[in-house]
Amino acid sequence: MSVTLDLSRVAPAVDAPKPPINLSGLTRPQMVAALTESGVVEHGKAKMRATQIFRWVHHRGVTDFAQMSDVAKETRARLADHFTIARPEVVERQVSKDGTRKWLIRMAPGVEVETVYIPSVGRAGALCVSSQVGCTLNCSFCHTGTQALVRNLTAAEIVAQVQIAKDDLGEWPSDKEDRLLSNIVFMGMGEPLYNLGQVADAIEIISDNEGITISRRRITVSTSGVVPQLQALGDKTQAMLAISLHATNDALRDVLVPLNKKYPLDQLMAGIRAYPGLSNARRVTFEYVMLKGVNDSPDEARALVKLIKGIPAKVNLIPFNPWPGTDYQCSDWAAIEAFAAILNRAGYSSPIRTPRGRDILAACGQLKSESEKVRASAMRKLSMAAMAGVLDDDEDEAAA
Ligand code: SAH
Ligand code: SF4
């Protein structure tokens, strides 16, 4: 028996007004299309107008169409009817004694992320951005892994983290000399390769020469090893690659990074070797969290050397950052140094860095309760040591 439904009789749902598109999250070609589709700008002028607006937003950092002094008043009003260039709200701002800055940003009600700026890493200073709120992967040593995914961030929300840091650092216009923000690392909350479309758009926007102009070789994406997306990451973004390795055999990596069960080490290493643009000047960073009695023996250091043999690489040893309820402990300092020495002898740069901004991370407990879930995980997630190590020899790379 078949039943036919007459959908024409169903009352149309009342359309909620669509929020205006935030132009900050559109690449220049996307902006051309959006301006044309909206009818605000006629087709022939869209490309020129898009570059003009893009420069106002990403070179000058304006947050109001009224500030675009070389755009006709009537056009500005029409732009404001269709679009926005407003920033999300900064809920909390903290500055550490060592100059580390941290912002808690509310993207939407209940959608909050932390972004951290660390001075004196990379060429001048680096910003650690989030790509998701929460994470679907459950790495056993990571507190974000215990939090369900709230949602992916949009390109506008990823770019907004950079814009807010630049507002605070006084980095507009973007071609200012002696810039403090020289590097970006996707090492905040979330797995960037599970949100690659938005991450790639954000990287295109951040690196665009008409705007913020942070070179793609100063942008690093850290992944737990989503092997099928590695090629696309390289092709779409030409970003520097960081891999959260943490173990040298499948049995242990299955426990630490459960995604390993899906993409085991042989597949991961093959994917890394094939990463577009890998060379001595563009090395992959292996992140290795130091867990006492779990993965920190000299034998494991030697196994690591063997595993990554032939890959242009550096290793970033991250002292484990403990969190309430975890069974893991950070390795003793002597064990970390012994581990690093084996890597160094094999010719690998393997920086160990003391976490920065400890004082403001400690003060995080005073943040508001509605953001607690996100904040608590983000706090542990944003591993200062990890970030500093990834960017350790940025100068050498720039010179290469
Ligand atoms: N999801 C991505 C990117 C964010 S994690 C990834 O896993 O690579 C950034 C880095 O911080 C990763 O290397 C991650 O393994 C590490 N990390 C997570 N929790 C940590 C902790 N408690 N202590 C030290 N490093 C941690
Ligand atoms: Fe997710 Fe990365 Fe944490 Fe693993 S380490 S749970 S992939 S954020």
DSSP letters, 110-165, are TEEEEEEEEETSSSSEEEE--SEES-S---TT-SGGGS---EEPPHHHHHHHHHHH
296 and 187 part of one domain: yes
Tell me how far apart the alpha carbons of residues 206 and 203 are, in angstroms, rounded to a whole number: 5
**Both structure tokens of 172:** 């507009």
Closest-approaching ligand to the CA atom of 287 = 1
pTM: 0.89
Q: What angle do CA 54, 57, 63 make, to 5 degrees?
A: 150
Residue 178 is predicted with a pLDDT of 87
- Give the three-class secondary structure for 18: coil
Among 219, 233, 204, smallest CA distance to 58 is for: 204
Token pair listed for 5: 């439904």
Q: Would you say the CB of residue 137 lies under 6 angstroms from ligand 2? A: yes
Per DSSP, the three-state class of 8 is helix
Same domain as 190, residue 69: no
The b/e string for 32-50 (b: 16+ C-beta within 10 A; e otherwise) is: bebbbeeebbeeeebbebb
> Is 176 part of any domain?
yes
* Cis ω before 324 (30° cut-off from 0): no
Residue 398 covered by a domain? no
What's the pLDDT at 353?
63
Q: Is residue 269 part of a domain?
A: yes
The answer as to whether 14 is a domain residue is no
d(CA 285, CA 266): 17
Both 163 and 35 in a single domain? no
- Catalytic annotation, residues: 114, 364
The CATH number of residue 98's host domain is 3.20.20.70
> Does residue 287 lie within any of the structural domains?
yes
What end-to-end distance do the CA atoms of the chain give, in Å? 72
Q: Are 101 and 94 in contact (CB under 8 A)?
A: yes
Q: Is the CB of 116 under 6 A from ligand 2?
A: no
Atom number of ligand 2 nearest to Cα 222: 2
Cα 371 to Cα 91, 141, 165, 378: the distances in Å are: 9, 22, 20, 10
Q: Report angle CA 77, 81, 86 to the nearest 5 degrees.
A: 90
CA of 72 to the centre of ligand 2 (A): 47
At 308 the pLDDT is 97
Are 127 and 185 members of one domain?
A: yes
Residue 178 lies in a domain: yes
Q: How many domains does the chain have?
A: 2
> In terms of domains, do 48 and 126 share one?
no
Which domain, by its residues, includes 43? Answer: 21-84
Residues 210 and 289 in one domain: yes
59 and 79 in a single domain? The answer is yes
Closest ligand to C-alpha of residue 186 is 1
Does 397 reside within a domain? no
In the listed set 84, 111, 136, which residue is the last one of a domain according to the structure? 84
Please check whether residues 36 and 141 belong to one and the same domain: no
Residues 168 and 136 in one domain: yes
Query: H or E element: which one contains 101?
Result: strand 101-108
Looking at residue 321, its pLDDT comes to 84
Q: For residue 377, what pLDDT is reported?
A: 43
CA distance 24 to 53: 10
Rounded to 10°, the helix 298-307/333-345 angle is 30
Does residue 145 have its Cβ closer than 6 Å to ligand 2? yes
Do residues 55 and 200 both lie within one domain?
Answer: no
Whole-number pLDDT of residue 396: 39
* Residue 156 counted as domain residue: yes
Query: Are 220 and 123 within one domain?
Result: yes
Please give the chain's pLDDT, 400 residues, in tens: 333 444 444 444 556 677 889 999 999 999 999 999 999 888 889 999 999 999 999 999 999 999 999 999 999 999 999 999 999 999 999 998 888 899 999 999 888 888 889 888 778 899 999 999 888 898 999 887 677 777 899 999 999 999 999 999 999 999 988 899 999 999 988 899 999 999 999 999 999 999 999 999 999 999 999 999 999 999 999 999 999 999 999 999 999 999 999 999 999 999 999 999 999 989 999 999 999 999 999 999 999 999 999 999 999 998 888 888 889 999 999 999 999 999 999 999 877 766 666 555 422 222 222 334 444 444 444 444 455 555 654 443 433 3
- Residue 389, pLDDT score: 54
